[in-house]
Amino acid sequence: MDSRPRRLALALALCLLLAACGGSFLIIFNTGTIVGAPQCHASGGQFNLRDQGGLQVLVVITSSTHIFVSSGGSGSCSDLFADAPVQVSGHQDGDRLIARDVTIN
């Protein structure tokens, strides 16, 4: 079962709730390919993502990042690999994308 539509609906509901309360919350969705080997450690990791336009952004994986593998199950940073096509949702922090979800396609 694909949980992406449910996650998207939940994110939209959160945005609407925050907007109604006068707050703001921006979730960024990006699709691309992992450049080079991801760097993983106990509390997360990071990797470079080349988006469809050819731009690269640093994606930071935290201890609260959810990683989903193509079979639909949960994964970890060690399941990420160079040249893997991924979808990332999260928020921007300067020139980095702090990942909330990473889905390996």
CATH number at residue 48: 2.40.50.140
Q: Is residue 94 assigned to a domain?
A: yes
User: Which range marks the domain in which residue 82 is found?
Assistant: 28-104
Residue 4: inside a domain: no
Task: Tell me whether residue 58 is in a domain.
Answer: yes
User: What sign results for the dihedral spanned by CA atoms 14, 15, 19, 20?
Assistant: negative
Query: Partners of 19 in the beta sheet?
Result: none
CA–CA distance, 49 with 59 (Å, rounded to integer): 7
> Distance between CA atoms of 5 and 11, rounded to whole angstroms?
10
Q: How is residue 14 written in tokens?
A: 């959160």
* Residue 5 counted as domain residue: no
Within a domain: residue 18?
no
| Count of structural domains within the chain | 1
Specify if 1 maps to a domain. Answer: no
- The pTM of this model reads 0.75
Contact 77, 84 (CB under 8 A): no
Per-residue pLDDT of the chain (105 residues; tens, 9 = 90+): 455 666 666 666 666 655 565 554 567 888 999 999 999 998 899 999 999 889 999 999 999 999 999 888 999 999 999 999 999 999 988 889 999 999 999
